[in-house]
Amino acid sequence: MARMRAMVCEAAGRPLAARERERPQPRQGEVLVAVSACGVCRTDLHLVDGELPQARLPVVPGHEIVGTVAACGAGVTSLAPGVRVGVPWLGWTCGRCDACRRGLENLCAEAQFTGCTRDGGYAEFAVADARYVFPLPERYDDLAAAPLLCAGLIGYRAYAMAGDARTIGLYGFGAAAHLIAQVALHEGRRVLAFTRPGDAAGQAFARALGVHWAGDSTAAAPEPLDAALLFAPVGALVPAALAAVRPGGLVVCAGIHMSDIPAFAYRLLWEERSVRSVANLTRADAQAFLALAGRVPLAVHACAYPLAAANRALDDLRHGRVEGAAVLTMHGDRASNRS
Looking at 162-236, list the stretches that DSSP marks H as alpha helix, in order from N- to C-terminal side.
175-186, 200-208
Q: Cα separations (Å) of 289 from 66, 78, 110, 127, 183?
A: 16, 20, 24, 23, 10
Closest approach, Cβ 255 to Zn ion, in A, equals: 9
Q: Does 150 help bind Zn ion (rule: CB under 5 A)?
A: yes
Task: Select 67 or 249, whichever has its Cβ closest to Zn ion.
Answer: 67
Contacting residues for 187 by C-beta, under 8 A, at least 6 apart: none
Task: Select 83 or 97, whichever has its Cβ closest to Zn ion.
Answer: 97
Closest approach, Cβ 245 to Zn ion, in A, equals: 25
- Asked if 293 and 134 count as a contact pair (C-beta separation under 8 A), the reply is no
Task: Select 43 or 182, whichever has its Cβ closest to Zn ion.
Answer: 43
CA distance 301 to 10: 30
- Asked if 308 and 18 count as a contact pair (C-beta separation under 8 A), the reply is yes
**Under rule CB under 5 A, which residues in 106-135 are in contact with Zn ion?**
108
**Under rule CB under 5 A, which residues in 67-96 are in contact with Zn ion?**
93-94
Single out the segment in contact with Zn ion by CB under 5 A; choices: 38-46, 160-168, 182-190, 280-288.
38-46
The SS3 assignment for 98 reads helix
Closest approach, Cβ 108 to Zn ion, in A, equals: 3
Among 6, 33, 35, 43, contact with Zn ion (rule: CB under 5 A): 43
Q: Does 41 help bind Zn ion (rule: CB under 5 A)?
A: yes
Give the DSSP letter of residue 266.
G
CA distance 144 to 299: 8
Closest approach, Cβ 175 to Zn ion, in A, equals: 8
Closest approach, Cβ 80 to Zn ion, in A, equals: 28
Single out the segment in contact with Zn ion by CB under 5 A; choices: 27-35, 43-51, 185-193, 265-273.
43-51
**Under rule CB under 5 A, which residues in 295-314 are in contact with Zn ion?**
none
Q: Does 161 help bind Zn ion (rule: CB under 5 A)?
A: no
**Under rule CB under 5 A, which residues in 92-111 are in contact with Zn ion?**
93-94, 97, 100, 108
Q: Cα separations (Å) of 233 from 96, 101, 236, 274, 318?
A: 32, 31, 9, 18, 11
